[in-house]
Amino acid sequence: MLVLLFLPASPAHAKGLYVRDWITISLRSSPDVNSQIIGLANTNDYLEVLEEQTDWVKVKTQDGKVGWVQTRYLTDKTPKTFIINQLNEKVSTLSEKIQGLLKENKQLRKTNQGLQYKVSVLTNQIRKLKQSYDNLRNSSSKYLELKSAYDKLIDEQKSKAEEFNRLKSENKKLKTSDRLIFTIIGGCFIIIGLIIGMLLQSLRLRQKKTGYKF
């Protein structure tokens, strides 16, 4: 901090004055109204002060011309026209920005409308998908019920088929045993018939022999 206090101050900006409102002044070669005119300065022009006298000031224009002008035509206040021009430039700039913002706002509205339409379409698609999902879920539930009933019928049919095959096998066995029994019974009847026939024949033979004795 102490070092900064002992540093020499930097030179101030060169003093400048403005040309008063609504006038055009002459730059002269010397501080005399009869001296040669070497240039002109208009309202709002900023002039750098190089030297000052009682009624005259040596100035340098922005385009590099150096000459003398009368002090009464200069002011250290910013000219109203300069301020108005600056304000007009700002207003023009702001107007351009406003127009740009209006265009951007219009474009954003169009974009927003497009997005709203897309959102509406997506909402309808989501609603349809949800409906399809609900239908599929209900169909799946019915499908599972039908499949369960079908599997149950298949099991019942399989059990009945097994029972039928068992009964068929038993029936076949019964038929075989019945045929065997009938065969045996038939054979027995045949044997009995033969025996009876033989007995009757032997009785007849005996009767004949007995008859010869008489």
Q: Are residues 42 and 97 in the same domain?
A: no
The DSSP secondary structure of 83-97, one letter per residue, reads HHHHHHHHHHHHHHH
- pLDDT given at position 208: 66
- For residue 116, being part of any structural domain is answered with yes
| Element spanning 35, H or E | none
CATH number of the domain encompassing residue 65? 2.30.30.40
Residue-wise pLDDT tens digits, 149-196: 888 888 888 888 888 888 888 878 877 877 778 788 888 888 888 888
CB burial of residue 70 (10 Å; 0-12, 13-18, 19+):
middle
80 vs 9, residue with greater confidence: 80
My answer on whether 94 and 146 are in the same domain is: yes
Residues 113 and 147 both lie in one domain: yes
**Of the candidates 55, 77, 99, which is a domain's last residue?**
77
pTM score of the predicted model = 0.39
Q: What is the rounded average pLDDT for all residues in the chain?
A: 82
CA 157 to each of CA 27, 64, 167: distance values in angstroms, whole numbers, following the listed order: 124, 116, 15
Residue where a domain terminates, one of 154, 177, 199: 154
Tokens of 72: 């009464």
Joined together, the tokens standing for residue 168 give: 């068929």
